[in-house]
Amino acid sequence: MLDGPRDPNLKVDSAHLAERFGLFMILLLGELVITVGTAALERPADDFAYWAAMTGGLVLAGALWWLYFTSAAELSEKLLGLSGGNPTLAYSLYAGGHLPPAFALLLVAAGVNLSLHESPPPAAAWLLTAGLTVYIAGTRVFAAEPARWYQRAARIATLAATVNLAHLDRVLPAPAVVVVVAIWGVGMTAISTIVRRRALDRLGDNPLGFLLHGREARVR
């Protein structure tokens, strides 16, 4: 998949494809923003818990935007460009690779929406945290870093901790859970930015060496 297509007519423009899928992700992120905004029409202005949750929802939307465009999108575009626009790699990175994070954004939007209701159902927190977990795993923001067994264990523990933040609804109201998840999402975004920056530096102009290095690290 790292070789250019034999037929030049099948070459995929990496910048164009990245732009189109970026717009698609922006539309889905917009669903989260709209969910928060429309709920504002139904709540009183002095409801502090709601306004805190609304702020948390908007911060989370910004974190997810940053997570995608500064991490997953940049690396995917560069890999596809270095492959010479291989259509098989394009399908793997974009058509198939974008299904989990796209579905995850819908889960997050549903979770935030339900959390802003006056009587949020128990499923609200789980939709929110499960969506964030699938988004982190689907965008593979931590997968580009070569990892030994303990680093892989840390990644799995991070994903498990993310989804289990839903248990906070036993001690916190739903709006407070949204705020905590938003703070967690900002933390994940900061870590992923560092990881992806190192990955892009290692990638350079040699995608095969980059991928083989990651494989050797997993073997060790």
Check residue 184 and give its pLDDT.
93
* Residue 124 dihedral angles phi and psi, to the nearest 5°: -60, -50
Check residue 199 and give its pLDDT.
66
Between vectors from CA 138 to CA 132 and to CA 140, what angle results, nearest 5°? Answer: 110
- Of the two residues 134 and 22, the one the predictor is more confident about is 134
pLDDT exceeds cutoff 70 at 165: yes
- Of the two residues 207 and 93, the one the predictor is more confident about is 93
Q: List Cβ neighbours of 188 (8 Å cut-off, separation of 6 or more).
A: 63, 67, 132, 136, 141, 158, 162
Q: Is 84 helix (H, G, I), strand (E, B) or coil?
A: coil
Share of the chain above pLDDT 90, in %: 16
Between vectors from CA 149 to CA 181 and to CA 162, what angle results, nearest 5°? Answer: 10
pLDDT exceeds cutoff 80 at 39: no
Euclidean distance between CA atoms 142 and 152, whole angstroms = 9
Identity of the amino acid at 191: I
Span 54-95, pLDDT tens digits: 888 889 999 898 888 877 777 777 777 776 777 777 777 777
For residue 174, give the nearest of 126, 124, 99 by alpha carbon: 124
Euclidean distance between CA atoms 59 and 124, whole angstroms = 18
pLDDT exceeds cutoff 50 at 218: no
Task: Check if the beta carbon of residue 198 is closer than 8 Å to that of residue 145.
Answer: yes
Euclidean distance between CA atoms 99 and 138, whole angstroms = 8
**Which domain covers residue 153, as residue numbers?**
8-219
The residue whose two tokens read 């109201």 is: 173
Task: Check if the beta carbon of residue 54 is closer than 8 Å to that of residue 39.
Answer: yes
Q: List Cβ neighbours of 53 (8 Å cut-off, separation of 6 or more).
A: 112, 115, 116, 174, 175, 176, 178, 179
Considering the domain boundaries, does residue 88 fall inside one?
yes
Span 108-139, pLDDT tens digits: 988 988 888 878 888 999 999 999 999 988 87
Q: Is 29 helix (H, G, I), strand (E, B) or coil?
A: helix
Between vectors from CA 23 to CA 17 and to CA 25, what angle results, nearest 5°? Answer: 105
Output the average pLDDT for the chain.
78
- Encoding tokens for residue 118? 């006056």
Considering the domain boundaries, does residue 3 fall inside one?
no
* Residue 116 dihedral angles phi and psi, to the nearest 5°: -90, -5
Considering the domain boundaries, does residue 1 fall inside one?
no
- Of the two residues 150 and 143, the one the predictor is more confident about is 150
Considering the domain boundaries, does residue 24 fall inside one?
yes
> How many structural domains does the chain have?
1
